[in-house]
Amino acid sequence: MAVCVAVIGKDNSPLYIGGVGNDTNTDNELSRQWLVHTALDALEERLATTNTNTANSASNASRTDLRDLYLGLLYSTDTHKIYGYVTNTRIKLVLVTSSTSPSGSNIRDAEVRTALRRLHALYADAICNPFHLPGEQITSSKFDRQVKNLLLNNV
Amino acid sequence: MADDIVFELLHSEIINYVLENSKTSNGSKEVDLSLVEYIGFAAGYKIMERLTREWPRFKDELDTMKFICTDFWTCIYKKQIDNLRTNHQGVYVLQDNAFRFLTNFSNSQQYLEFAPRYVAYTCGLIRGGLANLCINSVVTAEVQSMPSCKFHIHVQRT
């Protein structure tokens, strides 16, 4: 069961952090931010290795894998698992699942991948909103609603 | 195709509008195309997020430029760039032998002096697209003979 998703901008400033389930109250805001930010270092490490590997022209199979936008499991704590996805435009999408709930412990990689791909599509649509300025926080309530729907229905 | 002509007409109207505005504001004969360039920048920035959605991560800058020449150009102008040149030091020259905004004009020298107006938007489009991919650049255009146009991209390194 996913508990939280975040959209992080090019300069690592959070553009959107949203939670679902019993995690939506504002008390958990800090812990959500903390969870998301623990993953950023791991995420940048992955990106750095991607670049060096391609420069050294590593084996073809691993290279195509590393060029995938989905980066897989980044970090896991006792209670949560954190998955990452980085777009070509350096926008980082982070999804946190709870590993303590019965449905969360056996979540499949493919499910997280589809959820993050859908989130990317939603983000691309939100960017095309003429009232949204690049680099600003996403305040669109439509985006918020769509993301929450996505989390409740798909992951 | 009807949807192409809408974009072309809107583009030429934007240019007419901006020229009209700059005429009334300062009275000089100098034409100010920075607004057109900015409109292009905003459009390029937004379109890039959508275009690169199904695309694997770019290897390097040249890979990105190839994307601009093929997919980006096809999406907007329904054709690919005819020639891409680079000095491998951050300067890229994209040549389009039949640039769409210029193909409606006479092939002679008749309207050559007005050509810069019709390439400013595209300069902004390229610059905005690259800016969203974290490449800061200066894009200029050069028209020597009518339907063909060269875009010079200077990548700014910090």
User: End-to-end alpha-carbon separation of chain A, Å?
Assistant: 6
User: A89 touching B, CB under 8 A?
Assistant: yes
A79: which DSSP letter? S
Over 90: is that where the pLDDT of A15 sits?
no
Interface A:B, Cβ pairs < 8 A: 45
Over 50: is that where the pLDDT of A64 sits?
no
pLDDT in tens, B84-126: 999 988 899 999 999 888 888 877 778 888 888 889 999 999 9
pLDDT in tens, B55-95: 888 888 888 999 999 999 999 988 999 999 999 888 999 99
Q: Compute the average pLDDT of residues B122-149.
A: 91
0.80 surpassed by pTM: yes
Domains of chain A, by residue range, sit at: 2-55+65-154
Share of chain A above pLDDT 70, in %: 76
ipTM of the shown complex: 0.81
> Which one of B53, B57, B132 has the shortest CB-CB distance to A120?
B53
Measured CA to CA, the distance from residue B23 to residue B136 in angstroms comes to 31
Which chain B positions have a beta carbon within 8 Å of A48's beta carbon?
Answer: none
A69: which DSSP letter? S
User: A86 touching B, CB under 8 A?
Assistant: yes
Query: Does B56 sit within 8 Å of A68, measured CB to CB?
Result: yes
Arch. (CATH architecture) of A2-55+65-154? 2-Layer Sandwich (3.30)
Query: Does B55 sit within 8 Å of A88, measured CB to CB?
Result: yes
Over 50: is that where the pLDDT of A62 sits?
no
3-state secondary structure of A5: strand
Q: Compute the average pLDDT of residues A125-139.
A: 87
